[in-house]
Structure 1
């Protein structure tokens, strides 16, 4: 059995791992690499022949794990893509959105080229990595399977998908492999969620596992635990919308983060912990993702199912509006009463959130409330580090709005969560942990903690091969 780490090696994006058993090739995840300085077109080139891959296992729908599947299919992959039922639906939604983003960049490039056509400058069109046709072809290859189902990939390879709680349908891929008369086990965590996260079930621990390919996003970092999410949200809303007649603008990723936030707000307003305040979810994609969450209701947490049985739809309440049309989105700017605006994207890079920032960043009565991680170089990161002037939609604007943040809605387990997850594996079975999907500093912190517990750890570089 041979393992090759082809992505998310000493970085967060581009998860892609190749597992070879005799002549059978399994690819675990096929994510877009959009790390700083990486051109989108570089995702076109695979370090192997896509037609040689027999099957793909997809741990969850996020683009850094699923986003290059259409390129794989376009370049010759003809096998099945195995994942859970929610992941199948969310992946198609996210991949179609990627096409829209690619086409938007291409149109912007063409306009730029036309503008400069008389200045003797050469501008190459930005070519889309793939088209909707390739997304449709990818969807045709997806075969959904249930959690905790022994799925026979071959006579000698059995797959078991185990919930990780990171996103609806997110799973760790656990393999039992019969090789040369010996049973071997290897697991790929994908991304590991947190306990007691709104809407999602807690991560489930793995059974006996000899080799573990584990994410390390929050290695060396601990989440805040001094206050509950409910109290943090109530405080933010009270200060932004009640104590002063202002608006609370919450950048949130459309898939996952928005649904957990809406459910949390629903509980607050349904229990009358705050007076009714208009809440606008301004993201068509979030609306579609919420429909998928409703469709796969049996996969949500026990708390969310109990709420539904007692009080109704967890993603709908009296003062909540889902904004669909762009015209409606623009009209929110004319809403002068206190309100809450939830809009994508979470790091402020693109999406309708930029319009809300453009009109409110100089508003003393506006609060921008970050509920997730913002990568370096993004507008969100610049606001969080305290920049007094930022560029939004081509204009330099002074920051007069209040900037706040919380990590209580982060979808990743922290350092202690990762340790607990790994240490829950029966110690006599665990031989090596391979750390991926994290910055080098995070990986080193987690590695040091694991070494203290006498666990063998490797931090692979891209392309490293391990004989197991």
Structure 2
């Protein structure tokens, strides 16, 4: 068998690994967008969204819904893939709304691109390949091929091949993927971490314990650092609201992924409101996608933790309360610029790579009474990372903006496990039995630090693959 890493190799985005069995059967684990290299084409497949022949793939398994794990699924079918997609039911629901939203953004990008091109204007600023942008009809066709699988159910893919989805925390429906494969009379096992969640994260159950495996693929997003405590998230939120919206008073802008992070922030705000600790200020939730995600979370009550279930029982809703206003229309979103009272604006995307948040950031960069609170990871090269690391100015498109607003960051809301969570995931493996550990989904510094950490624990078979790196397993 061969395991090839086609994404999230020494970087955080674009998760994609291809397992090829000895009989030629191919299983693709995750199919994510590489947020940092949207315009990169493979020299062997210049007209493809993939560096391999997708028509040879037999099955796709998706760990969770975030676009860096699911965002290229429609491209598979556009290019000739004819198989099915396996994931949990919550992942299927969240993936659908994410891909539909992505398709709408794609079409707006393509319209602007074609308009400039037809006028003979430069299109160099567009960091995408037009042929790789999919439509809502492509998404619809893709979702018809999704087969939802229950957590902890051992599912027979074909004779001698089984898959089990194990709760990973991180996001509603997120899973570790455990594959068992009979190979010439020998059983080989593979464990793919997906994104590892945290203990006691708002709304979600803790990641489950995992079985031992011959080959383990582990993410390393935070392989070199520890997070603030989850219990600090409420205090962090209270403190920045007090400083920004009461003491100044001004406006607090929170870029957050519509799926996962926004729900965690809204839930914490609702708890503050219930406890009488939230100032009487308006909260604008500016993401139609987040509204859809909210409904999926509340309709998936059986997957939530006890605190969330009890809270919903007491207050009927996890995310709706008196202070909050959900904005549906684009004009309503832009009108916030004329709202002169202190307020909180929560908008997507978390890395600022599109969505309504870009308008709010541009409108408030020069506002010394505004604070931007980064509550999630921003991959290198994204607008979110450039804003976080700015030196007083920021270029967006062809315009240079001077930054007068405050930029703050907290990791207490991060849905990714920190180095201790990653270490716990690995140490469930017997160091004398596991044959290989592959580290992916992390920046080089983080990967190297985590590699050194687990090697010090006695795991001496740890590798950091490059993109396209193939291993015989």
TM-score normalised over the length of structure 1: 0.93
Residue 58 of structure 1 and its aligned partner are, at CA, apart by 0.6
Q: Secondary structure at the match of 2:19?
A: strand
Aligned residue number for residue 3 of structure 1:
3
Q: How many pairs does the alignment contain?
A: 465
Task: Please say if 1:255 is aligned against 2:259.
Answer: yes
Task: Please say if 1:213 is aligned against 2:217.
Answer: yes
> Whole-Å Cα distance in 1 between the matches of residues 416 and 316 of structure 2?
28
Aligned residue number for residue 28 of structure 1:
29
Q: Secondary structure at the match of 1:44?
A: coil
Aligned residue number for residue 445 of structure 1:
449
Aligned residue number for residue 425 of structure 2:
421
Task: Please say if 1:433 is aligned against 2:437.
Answer: yes
> Whole-Å Cα distance in 2 between the matches of residues 35 and 396 of structure 1?
21
Checking the alignment, whether the CA contact within 8 Å between 1:33 and 1:43 is kept in structure 2 is no
Aligned residue number for residue 40 of structure 2:
39
> Whole-Å Cα distance in 2 between the matches of residues 260 and 226 of structure 1?
11
Task: Please say if 1:295 is aligned against 2:299.
Answer: yes
Checking the alignment, whether the CA contact within 8 Å between 1:354 and 1:393 is kept in structure 2 is no
Shift of the 193–226 alpha-carbon distance from structure 1 to 2, 3 Å rule, reads closer
Which region of structure 1 is more displaced relative to structure 2, 382-391 or 404-413? 382-391
Which region of structure 1 is more displaced relative to structure 2, 344-353 or 161-170? 344-353
CA deviations 1:435-465 (Å, max 9, x no partner) are 1111222211111111111212111222232
What aligned pairs does 1:102-251 form with structure 2 within 5 A after superposition? 102-116=106-120, 126-225=130-229, 228-251=232-255
Q: Secondary structure at the match of 2:113?
A: helix
Task: Please say if 1:61 is aligned against 2:62.
Answer: no
Task: Please say if 1:412 is aligned against 2:422.
Answer: no
Checking the alignment, whether the CA contact within 8 Å between 2:269 and 2:278 is kept in structure 1 is no
Checking the alignment, whether the CA contact within 8 Å between 2:32 and 2:68 is kept in structure 1 is yes
What aligned pairs does 1:296-315 form with structure 2 within 5 A after superposition? 296-315=300-319
Checking the alignment, whether the CA contact within 8 Å between 1:161 and 1:174 is kept in structure 2 is yes
Which region of structure 1 is more displaced relative to structure 2, 7-16 or 249-258? 7-16
Unaligned runs of 5+ in 2: none
Residue 395 of structure 1 and its aligned partner are, at CA, apart by 4.2
Pick aligned residue for 1:363 from 362, 367, 384: 367
Shift of the 402–45 alpha-carbon distance from structure 1 to 2, 3 Å rule, reads closer
> Whole-Å Cα distance in 2 between the matches of residues 11 and 336 of structure 1?
41
Pick aligned residue for 2:468 from 457, 463, 466: 463
Shift of the 208–380 alpha-carbon distance from structure 1 to 2, 3 Å rule, reads closer
> Whole-Å Cα distance in 1 between the matches of residues 451 and 47 of structure 2?
29
Checking the alignment, whether the CA contact within 8 Å between 2:311 and 2:318 is kept in structure 1 is yes
> Whole-Å Cα distance in 2 between the matches of residues 292 and 43 of structure 1?
36
Shift of the 38–419 alpha-carbon distance from structure 1 to 2, 3 Å rule, reads farther
Q: Secondary structure at the match of 1:333?
A: helix
What aligned pairs does 1:256-405 form with structure 2 within 5 A after superposition? 256-392=260-396, 395-405=399-409
TM-score normalised over the length of structure 2: 0.92
Residue 8 of structure 1 and its aligned partner are, at CA, apart by 1.7
RMSD: 2.3
Shift of the 3–395 alpha-carbon distance from structure 1 to 2, 3 Å rule, reads closer
Q: Secondary structure at the match of 1:280?
A: strand
Unaligned runs of 5+ in 1: none
CA deviations 1:241-284 (Å, max 9, x no partner) are 11222111111111111011100111111111233321110111
Residue 355 of structure 1 and its aligned partner are, at CA, apart by 2.0
> Whole-Å Cα distance in 1 between the matches of residues 291 and 93 of structure 2?
14
Checking the alignment, whether the CA contact within 8 Å between 1:207 and 1:426 is kept in structure 2 is no
